[in-house]
Copies of this chain bind each other. A is one copy, B any other.
Amino acid sequence: MGINKKILVIPGDGIGQEVTEWGKQALQAIAEKHGHTFSFDEALMGHVAIEATGDPLPQETLDKARASDAILFGAIGHAKYDNDPSLKVRPEQGLLKIRKELGLYANLRPIRLFDELLGASSIRPEILSGADILFFRELTGDVYFGEKKKAEDGSWASDLMSYQRYEVERIARKAFEAARARRRKLCSVDKANVLETSRLWRAVVQQIAAEYPDVETEHMFIDNAAMQLVKDPKRFDVVLTANLFGDILTDEASQIAGSMGMLASASVGDTTGFYEPIHGSAHDIAGKGIANPLASILSAALMLEISFGLKDEAEALVKAVDHTLKQGYRTLDIADKKIPNDFVLGTSAMGGKVI
């Protein structure tokens, strides 16, 4: 029996406008093939929303988000704001606000390498092969959401880094549960030798770890983790960390998957799930039709599995991506020199192959 779901699509900025279409088409193809009914709506967020309404997260978008069963998002950001730190209304505020408003406190970022892409990474194949990491990045706390202050005369500025115990507890539980269903190893990353926030983090994780004696828990400093991720990615199974550290580590980890263009993420919490590629708006390549749509398609797969419980359908999508790569097709970001020119595809051609 097919299911009925309402999906909100928010393409956002830059290449988000190009790739999100393919995540949507992938969902549509799955619906047709497996007898489900997905209805789609669309909404604005980020720079495009500021241009249209003055607000990076218009109330209408938030209302639609709350009324949907899952959200497929693209990317956010624009060079204009990056170049002018004094601008008060900024695209990223939209993304941060929707994460907070929807209570999306757990950001899951699975890092796995498709075998065919062993050659696309700057890391040696023998170091990479078999690496399989699931990041749990806390998403609604930390220095991202603490009080921001600055002097009128520009002489200083500050951001408050902070965590509450329950914020650490709830994501830690999710991460330990996930570890149980995987290789039963969890590495919690912090900077407890310097930060009070990290010492709270570590103490809480130690406490929750006691409830999961079957999971091997380790604590690592962020500086060391940033190194180990390149040196020996296979040592990691589940990695649990705070918002800022998770932002940094998961971008770095994209090199384990060959390219940022391959990585999907799921943000979950108490209500609607939110699915997005890890990559940004990439204004340097936006509008050229060369962005990799696979991260959006893989984000759609995460939606099928996590929000809708459609495991087989999710797997079918991942297989379609794998098959396309096996046939030799690549976008520019994952094409090594050995790939013949006519196998290097643009966004639409690549999306089309997978569908």
Which A residues contact B (CB, under 8 angstroms)? 77, 81-82, 85-86, 90-92, 96, 122-124, 127, 143-144, 146, 148-150, 154-165, 191-200, 202-203, 206, 219, 222-224, 226-227, 229-232, 244-245, 247-252, 254-255, 260, 280
| Additional pairs, 4, CB under 8 Å, beyond known A143-B194, A226-B251 | A92-B193, A122-B230, A154-B200, A222-B247
Q: With both chains docked as a complex, state the minimum distance between the C-beta of A152 and any C-beta of chain B, in angstroms.
A: 12
In the bound complex, do residue B155 and residue A165 qualify as a contact, i.e. CB atoms below 8 Å apart? yes
| Closest CB pairs A-B (n = 5) | A158-B162, A85-B199, A223-B251, A157-B200, A226-B252
* A148 nearest in chain B by CB position: B196
In contact, A202 and B165 (Cβ under 8 angstroms): no
Residues A159 and B227 in contact in the complex (CB < 8 Å), given A85-B203, A124-B122? no
> What residues of chain B lie closer than 8 Å to A85, measured between beta carbons?
192, 198-200, 202-203, 206
A279 to chain B, nearest CB (A): 10
Known contacts A92-B194, A193-B82, A193-B92; decide if A154 and B165 are in contact (CB<8 Å). Answer: yes
- Name 25 A/B residue pairs within 8 A (Cβ), A-sorted: A82-B192, A82-B193, A85-B198, A86-B199, A90-B193, A122-B123, A143-B161, A143-B194, A148-B196, A150-B200, A155-B165, A156-B163, A157-B163, A158-B196, A158-B197, A161-B161, A191-B247, A222-B247, A222-B248, A223-B248, A224-B251, A226-B226, A226-B248, A227-B252, A230-B252
Is B244 touching A191 in the complex (CB atoms < 8 A)? yes
Instruction: Considering the complex, give the chain B residue whose CB is closest to the CB of A91.
Output: B193
Please give the distance in Å from A212's CB to the nearest CB on chain B.
18
The residue on B at minimum CB distance from A232 is B122
* Complex Cα–Cα for A146 and B158 (A): 9
- Please name all residues of chain B whose beta carbon is closer than 8 Å to the beta carbon of A230 when the two chains form the complex: 122-123, 230, 252, 255
Is there an interface contact between B81 and A149, defined as CB atoms closer than 8 Å?
A: no
Is the CB–CB distance between A196 and B157 below 8 Å? yes
- The 8 Å CB contact of A143, one of B81, B155, B195, B203, is B195
Bound: A164/B206 CA distance, A: 36
Residue of B whose beta carbon sits closest to that of A245: B248
Shortest Cβ distance from residue A125 to the other chain B in the assembled complex, whole angstroms? 9
> How many whole Å from A90's CB to the nearest CB in chain B?
7
